[in-house]
Amino acid sequence: MSTTPDGAPAPAPREMAGLIDHTALKPDTDEATVRRVVSEAREHGFAAVCVNPRWVPLVVAELTGSTVKTCTVVGFPLGASTTASKVAETQEAVAAGAQEIDMVVDIADALAGDSAAVETQIRVLADAAHAGGAILKVILETALLSEDAKELVCRASEAAGADFVKTSTGFAGGGATVEDIALMHRLVGGRLGIKASGGVRSYADAVAMVSAGATRIGASSSLDIVGADETTSAPGAADDY
- Supply the residues annotated as catalytic: 102, 166, 195
C-alpha distances out from residue 235 to 8, 10, 18, Å: 22, 17, 20
- For 53, which DSSP code? G
54-57 — which CB contacts under 8 Å span 24+ positions?
Answer: 55/24, 55/29, 55/31, 56/93, 56/96, 56/97, 56/98, 57/96, 57/97
**For the chain, counts of helices (H) and of strands (E):** 9, 8
User: Which one-letter amino acid corresponds to residue 81?
Assistant: S
Q: What is the DSSP letter of 64?
A: T
Query: How many other C-beta atoms lie within 10 A of the C-beta of residue 183?
Result: 20
State how far the Cα of 20 lies from the Cα of 225, in Å rounded to an integer: 9
Q: What are the DSSP calls for 162-228, one per residue?
A: -SEEE---S-SS----HHHHHHHHHHHBTTBEEEEESS--SHHHHHHHHHHT-SEEEES-HHHHHH-
